[in-house]
Structure 1
Amino acid sequence: MVMSTLPPLPLPDEMRQWDEASFALGLPEVMLMENASRAALRALELCRVPLAGRRVWLFMGSGNNGGDAAALARHLLDAGAVPTVWHTRPLGQYRGACGQHVRMARRCGVSFLPVGRCLAAEGRKGQEMPHLVVDGLLGTGFHGELRPEMLALVRHINALRREAFVLALDVPSGLDAASGRPQPEAVRAHATVTFEAAKFGLVLPESAPFTGRLITLPIGIPLAVRRTAPCSARLLDAGILGHLPPYRPQGYKNSYGHVLVVGGAEDLSGAAHLAARAALRAGAGLAGALVPCGNGLAVRNGLAEIMVREMPGSAPGLWPSLPSGNLRLLLEGSMDRVQALVIGPGMGRSEAAQALLRALLACAERPCAVLDADALVLLSREPALLRELREQDVLTPHPGEAAALLGTTAAQVQADRLHALRALCALTPACVVLKGAGTLIGQQRAQRLRPVCVSPWDVPSLAVGGSGDVLAGCMGALLARRAAHPAPTPESDCPVDALTLAAVGVSWHALAGRAVAERYPARGNLAHELADVLPSVHAGHDGRRAGTGEDGIC
């Protein structure tokens, strides 16, 4: 399965399960802690931080992160650095694997001092300021708000970063590993080395000011453990473009599917044009638009390849108000040889548009559909229609549209995007793409949420009017291309399900934004340029992973 090839993103409870399952297999905790410390040393090498003769302050908390810091101090000493470990509790109270590493480090000659002396100017007399600071105060288990004494340490480390390089172990202290948000402040590291897998919150855009460069390195959690305790989320990367439906030998236009965009009402023709244009640029063999009478030329907008069908019986620019039976008959005639619908770009929100959406979803022979923009607002007015959707359909709400579907506010959606995605998935069998910085993709099947896909890209070039229409058209092309040839080919495990195709579409769209940013680094790009660059982005990412491997996510 394609999803299983994506890097896992454990939530804090899932990471704890991995640890406990590893211990149950017989892996000593002291060994995993040793492996974590060596991974941290490797991270410093990757960041080209000099060690010989450099003063290093390591802040050691009371949990496993503290043990990682103590073990790292021993390796730093061997590398020629001058480490000092500032401990937050009496050394005699460190037990288990952490205590064992404290004792080993002390026997090797590492200096340990109570952290209170670090905070007091009097206690720092004779101590020169560090070149390197290691944050080992709090780990993935932290939640709630920082206690006053820990908040003071976080602020102290942040003051030191003006002169010293700061490395956070696993998670910057004060950062919630599930949400990626500071509670209420967090260490602002230059780099974070996270162990075995990036934690869910660490790849969300709001965490970037605190994680700095994010480096993921293994520490020896067995594959058997990760398979028996799978994570609820996966990280998208450029490698997923290797799962784009393949080009077929001796293929012709119908081999690549036909996309029909339903939209382009009065004064909204640009949205339908962009969706159809993106479908063609994403490889659809044919792209057309079903539009109100009189709007065909505006939707085509000089692109002769967009086939336009105007709905008769309406005032110019408006959808017809036909009896539902006649409307359904008309639409079913329009579905001939269409493999995917893109419903909503420039559709409008009139009563006639509502009736049109209702009739479209009721078509027995309708193909799979991407529902975007106005279609989502119309769905929010008639929630029963959400159950008319199918597993091969895709919803693409931005936070405002998600709020309308959930009966809440955009601010509440943004405050807990994972919760909002889960709530949306509970409303419909369709795949849901919650757009925005750190796009989330999910789908519920048999009352269970499939692994959520997380986009790590925050691309300012995508924040432009029409960008969502481009994404919808791109996804429509992927659905159409797959529907044209539903059986996998021998040379490809070509994805069938909407969740995987949505993940491919989101990644492709984000990488298109990054490509456009090379030409317009200060923004100023137009949405049609996102569509036009899709083919070259595909050619430039032939399945090789970007941002993973030994040096992790950067």
Structure 2
Amino acid sequence: MNRILTGQDMKKIDRNTIDYYGIPSLVLMERAALGVANEVMIREFINKEKVLIVCGTGNNGGDGLAVGRILLSNNVDVKMVIVGDYNQFSVETKKQYEILVKLNGPIVFYQEESFYHLVNEADVIVDAIFGVGLSRDIKGIYKEVIQTINGSKKYVIAIDIPSGIDANSGKVLGISIKANQTIALSAYKLGQVLFPGHEYCNEIKVIDIGIPLEAYKKIDKNIFTMSKLTQDMLPTRKPRSNKGSYGKVLVMAGSKNMSGAAYLSGLAAYRTGVGLVHIVTPEDNRIILQSQLPEAIITTYEFNNGCIEQNHMEKIKQAINNVDVIVIGPGLSTEIDAKTLLIETIKHGKVPLIIDADGLNIIAKNKDILKNHQQPIIVTPHPGEMSRLMNEPVQIILDQLIEKAMNMSEQHNVITVLKDSNTVITSPTRDIYINLSGNNGMATAGAGDVLSGVIGGLVAQGIETFKAAYTGVLIHGLAGDKAKESKGYYGMIARDIIQNIPEVMK
């Protein structure tokens, strides 16, 4: 588990570490500088490269000066530029500067013309201008400096966060450094994982700077991510078992002559390890589903005047009470029969429920459907569906992913999987997971149906619902990353994601 902190969180933790635990700020700065310097020095051709460190006057600049000193002592060709006035130095930055002066370090204050030449000469630029405390738009010489660096197309390493990104929201404060690599100090920052900040960070690596674990306990919000899938996140497999040992998933999906979503969701559940998949779908889909997914049990229904026939509804109710989890909504349509299915499922079902796609569109028009539900519910909207659920413009949803997901969870007592490039998962108890796996090749029809099946498969095998939600999103993203290796971004389809689920989970 990897923590994600806001800029304010990080300041509190730093202060707690220094004031309560007595670890001096300069010690933390030295640890940070060592970690960043190591990342610079592991570059393959660093012995032939020129490094330029661009420093501000705050503690991020102090980190940069310390990095420069360490690189100098390791015979790296390095120069340092300070943007700002000596009188604006923080206490720690002033100390780092004084050390370098005594060492006759190659350090100068910013001048436009000479800076342009220094940037052009450099192979690697380290951004140490602003840190996580930045809250105002960048203007003046700082804007000019960032424009020059970005225009150079040189390899840029940002210390903690690219200068210009709001550490609390990921927003660009006027202009920002476009880094090739970001070295996060101690923990991920929220602005690194939310867009557009995530794009400006590029590759992110977290380094330890010596903050004790106890210092994190002052933080209220539990925001986290996972960088890899571990065995303890997966369902247990027993040597002596049968298909009943690994749960049953009921997939209520598809509409007349539209069977693809049911197929993808059902197959994904099987590939996640579930023992049995039961699909409820219109009669028109029977033949194709039986041929494409013969492992599944198929129950179909027909219509009478636009409504599901009563005897078929009774069969569906029996199915609802004979499974461990229900996935409802993929390709379901928003017709009256689909609405009836959803209402009856919530009314009669006692097991966890995953509502996706058209199930969410039905709720958007009939919000009372979620009132007083008894079973755990996971909803999996994309921003467009969330916009309809919350009666908010899509851009507001995109700008406030965490807040809107949390609102949905608290207002309706559901786990919310708000799908985006970095999907946000929230619970009614205010746990927040942000997913960092996956890629833009997964922006393809059916990928959401696959996700609902993966989460359903995990819940059926006994994984607690919130854990199943974030683990399912992680597996889904990692499978997409595997698919990218063979199919690339352009050629990936939903079935490629499914085919790589076993590889990710083995």
TM bucket, shorter chain: over 0.9
Partner of 1:107: 102
Partner of 1:514: 481
Q: Deviations over 1:359-396 (max 9, x none)?
A: 21111x53111100100001111112233445732111
Single out whichever of 254-263 and 410-419 deviates more from structure 2: 410-419
Name the CA distance, whole Å, in 2 between partners of 1:261 and 1:361.
Answer: 14
Q: How many correspondences in the alignment?
A: 505
Partner of 2:260: 270
SS in 1 for 2:417: strand
Partner of 1:549: none
Structure 1: gaps of 5 or more residues: 1-5, 483-494, 540-554
Partner of 1:156: 148
Partner of 1:249: 239
Partner of 2:318: 333
Name the CA distance, whole Å, in 2 between partners of 1:328 and 1:321.
Answer: 6
Structure 2: gaps of 5 or more residues: none
Partner of 1:308: 298
Single out whichever of 239-248 and 20-29 deviates more from structure 2: 239-248
What letter corresponds to residue 417 of structure 1 in structure 2?
L
SS in 2 for 1:444: coil
Name the CA distance, whole Å, in 2 between partners of 1:505 and 1:198.
Answer: 21
SS in 1 for 2:46: coil
Query: Residue 53 of structure 2 contacts residue 80 of structure 2 at CA under 8 Å; is this kept in 1?
Result: yes
Aligned-pair CA distance for 1:313: 5.2
Query: Residue 204 of structure 1 contacts residue 456 of structure 1 at CA under 8 Å; is this kept in 2?
Result: no
Partner of 1:170: 160
Query: Residue 57 of structure 2 contacts residue 90 of structure 2 at CA under 8 Å; is this kept in 1?
Result: no
Aligned-pair CA distance for 1:308: 1.0
Query: Which residues of 2 match residues 182-193 of structure 1 at below 5 A?
Result: 182-193=172-183
Query: Residue 389 of structure 1 contacts residue 430 of structure 1 at CA under 8 Å; is this kept in 2?
Result: no
2:250 is equivalent to residue 260 of structure 1:
yes
Aligned-pair CA distance for 1:476: 1.0
Aligned-pair CA distance for 1:470: 1.0
Which one of the candidate residues 16, 24, 40 is aligned to 2:36?
Answer: 40
Partner of 2:443: 463
Query: Which residues of 2 match residues 16-415 of structure 1 at below 5 A?
Result: 16-24=11-19, 25-48=21-44, 50-51=46-47, 55-115=50-110, 117=111, 119-120=112-113, 129-162=121-154, 165-204=155-194, 206-229=196-219, 232-240=222-230, 242-311=232-301, 314=304, 319-320=307-308, 331-363=316-348, 365-389=349-373, 392-415=376-399
Distance 1:391 1:359, change over 3 A: closer
What letter corresponds to residue 139 of structure 1 in structure 2?
G
Name the CA distance, whole Å, in 1 between partners of 2:209 and 2:80.
Answer: 22
Query: Residue 193 of structure 1 contacts residue 214 of structure 1 at CA under 8 Å; is this kept in 2?
Result: yes
Aligned-pair CA distance for 1:36: 1.2
Single out whichever of 192-201 and 398-407 deviates more from structure 2: 192-201
SS in 2 for 1:261: strand
Aligned-pair CA distance for 1:209: 4.2
SS in 2 for 1:378: helix
Name the CA distance, whole Å, in 1 between partners of 2:326 and 2:495.
Answer: 20
Aligned-pair CA distance for 1:154: 0.7
Name the CA distance, whole Å, in 1 between partners of 2:116 and 2:301.
Answer: 79
Name the CA distance, whole Å, in 2 between partners of 1:474 and 1:159.
Answer: 43
2:498 is equivalent to residue 537 of structure 1:
no
Distance 1:203 1:375, change over 3 A: same
Distance 1:191 1:308, change over 3 A: same
Query: Residue 259 of structure 1 contacts residue 341 of structure 1 at CA under 8 Å; is this kept in 2?
Result: yes
Name the CA distance, whole Å, in 1 between partners of 2:493 and 2:151.
Answer: 41
SS in 2 for 1:501: helix
Query: Residue 171 of structure 2 contacts residue 197 of structure 2 at CA under 8 Å; is this kept in 1?
Result: yes
Query: Identical aligned pairs, as a percentage?
Result: 25
Aligned-pair CA distance for 1:453: 1.1
2:399 is equivalent to residue 422 of structure 1:
no
Aligned-pair CA distance for 1:156: 1.6
Query: Residue 202 of structure 1 contacts residue 211 of structure 1 at CA under 8 Å; is this kept in 2?
Result: yes
Name the CA distance, whole Å, in 2 between partners of 1:125 and 1:270.
Answer: 58
What letter corresponds to residue 375 of structure 1 in structure 2?
G
Distance 1:304 1:351, change over 3 A: same
Query: Residue 36 of structure 1 contacts residue 219 of structure 1 at CA under 8 Å; is this kept in 2?
Result: yes
Distance 1:240 1:390, change over 3 A: farther
CA RMSD of aligned residues (A): 2.5
Aligned-pair CA distance for 1:170: 0.9
Name the CA distance, whole Å, in 1 between partners of 2:383 and 2:119.
Answer: 50
Query: Residue 166 of structure 1 contacts residue 191 of structure 1 at CA under 8 Å; is this kept in 2?
Result: yes
Aligned-pair CA distance for 1:204: 4.1
Name the CA distance, whole Å, in 2 between partners of 1:329 and 1:127.
Answer: 73
Aligned-pair CA distance for 1:62: 2.1
Q: If the length of structure 2 is used for normalisation, what is the TM-score?
A: 0.92
What letter corresponds to residue 283 of structure 1 in structure 2?
G
Name the CA distance, whole Å, in 2 between partners of 1:390 and 1:244.
Answer: 26
Name the CA distance, whole Å, in 2 between partners of 1:50 and 1:519.
Answer: 32
Distance 1:270 1:20, change over 3 A: same
Query: Residue 185 of structure 2 contacts residue 207 of structure 2 at CA under 8 Å; is this kept in 1?
Result: yes
Aligned-pair CA distance for 1:406: 0.8
Distance 1:349 1:57, change over 3 A: same
